[in-house]
Amino acid sequence: MKQKEQALYIVGALILLAVLYLAFDTKPSTQKALEKSRALTTREFDIPMLRTEAVKRLKEDQTEYLETLEAQLRHSGQDSMKRNILKQLSGYWFSLQQPLLAGLYAREVADLENTPESWSISGTTFASGLRSSSLEEKQKRFARDQALESFEHAISLEPDVIDHRINQALCYIEVPLDGEPMKGIQMLAGLVQNYPESPAPVYHLARLAVQTGQYDRAKTRIEQALALAPDDTRIICLAADIYTALGQMEEASRMSARCGRNE
């Protein structure tokens, strides 16, 4: 069965075109995080408050465009028209590097459409803020919790698609839960077992091993991924980096050539 495998951070096109839980007992900690997220939403992370702060940093023409969209939203009669304007608002806030506002509008779309794609867009939009240097830690925790909840909805509607589970695991890795710093890694490792035909979880484990300087472990993982998807460019390019770091230059050169890099 062909799996839809996309990295977490390839979100811009999905939004503008608008865009792990099996075998794990994640409910207690996840539920706790989501309850906290909902409480934060009502107190300090709603659209009006975030918008007030964000607009202060916009140019006049940007503010005018947003006001036009917002006026259209207020007067939108049909659900299809409302959804379209909400998507435009989400995409525009995303282009302005405001992932929380973009995510809140994407969440509204998902609430209306309730499709795997719309929940995935909501999740990836919020998740795009997890590495943002402009967000405070409490804002990142909010974005993480909203992303987790969105991916949970996507999983419930499309349980066989591994992307949603991988994206969920990556959220835990980017902004770990208090007291569970390894949760995301454990989820990816579980996915390797539960989806043995998919190269995606082992690719991400290899990538994370590189980030922590564990190149021998990264080599083991990337070779597993290559065996499953020998023509996947991102896997080939990561393999080239790993072999280079290990000083295995013959393999590194071969992979670099297949990656399309000039030596």
**Per-residue pLDDT reduced to its tens digit, 84-97:** 999 999 999 999 99
What's the whole-number mean pLDDT along residues 33-61? Answer: 76
Q: Is the pLDDT of residue 15 over 80?
A: no
Note the pLDDT of residue 68. 97
Q: What is the band of 17 on the pLDDT scale with cuts at 50, 70, 90?
A: very low
Distances (CA, A) of 107 to 117, 121, 181, 223, 234: 12, 8, 27, 38, 30
Report the pLDDT averaged over residues 63-69.
97
Predicted confidence at residue 166, as pLDDT, reads 98
Compute the distance between CA of residue 49 and CA of residue 174 in angstroms, rounded to an integer.
Answer: 26
Task: State pTM to two decimals.
Answer: 0.82
Q: pLDDT above 90 covers what percent of the chain?
A: 79
Residues 202-222 have pLDDT tens digits of 999 999 999 999 999 999 999
